[in-house]
Structure 1
């Protein structure tokens, strides 16, 4: 009776295959865990940290403006993100609701230092209250959960276009639900000098990321010219990425200055 002989070479091959499969499975599980952690970091941790920092900055601005002699028309310092520097003049008039130029300017402001927080944006429909900082740097402004002011555009209450940008997803995502805004909704901008109320009157659901016309002094899309304005006024522009979790296009919400209230 012959006894079958198992070749050592065959056993070694099977052992190597098992070891390779086991190692490959471990690597796949490890890669999956790392990817999951990255997703959690982007979608949860960055939001948590940015929102906490933005809330603290809002509170710091409110405390600064409430301090006698400190809030009366100063802009925040570049180092602290609170007050210090030149003061914007107090608004003295209410802008007509149709956006036409008022007989008396409702206010002006010196340009804050880059990346400093100097105003607060409040959007009641979105339950949003967030700092506004100078510039649209991702690292120094947007990724902190702030809304960024486009350099070269006007300041709150000035004739022209006060243009802002904010993240749609991650890093606080202040403009996550910008698409929920409707015509006649209000948007408030508080500074150390006054509170300016803008009323939403135009919405551009999607345009090119390179559509610079939307932030011009008389905002009008260069991609979709039927969207925008045709005469000077006092405007606010809110921009964010669209669709969600992409940066291919931009969504734009426009409003017109309808009232102002000096800070007392």
Structure 2
């Protein structure tokens, strides 16, 4: 009878220990996957270092060729992010805290409140710190609607700032790429929008995204500009006497 009781007490302890080990492994694997994924995509989320002066010069030449063959005027803006996304960073902290508290529950000092709070703060700080230092980690917690909204809002501001709304023929266009949000926005002024609309730029969107997936931002932008040129040629052929009202902007920055 004594042996039966001893075995009965040892079995739950053994299972609790096994559960703790599995929780540690699961949390470590989950966190490692998110961090490694963030490190893997880090290069794709860089714009400033990814486009050299030679790359930017080649893009300006590509824009000049587009403007020689059409009556449209194009500016290109590439940013690494359209917003700091503080809500996503807070969500990353909460998600790390929840996952850690759940998977590491058997190991947490539930009977020592001060130490427990310290452990919880470490989990929150780890998630927030990773979101602030690794854009790819932050990206996991940015919702699609939020990403689209911020990119489109920033694109509208760039459109106005560059004076693309001020051409006489209302034929200015903006190609805006926001890497963190994985958004490509093509905005046309009134004359372009009336004839082409938002759906006419699908080929440009696809070409740029394909280039980014291949870790070749320049190639993606060149393909996107070529797709835009093809659309503009069909609706806005070059006039007999081309007149350029705006410079061939290629703007690359962090935000």
TM-score exceeds 0.5: no
TM-score scaled by length of structure 1: 0.31
Say which structure is richer in helix.
Answer: 2
Say which structure is richer in strand.
Answer: 1
TM-score scaled by length of structure 2: 0.32
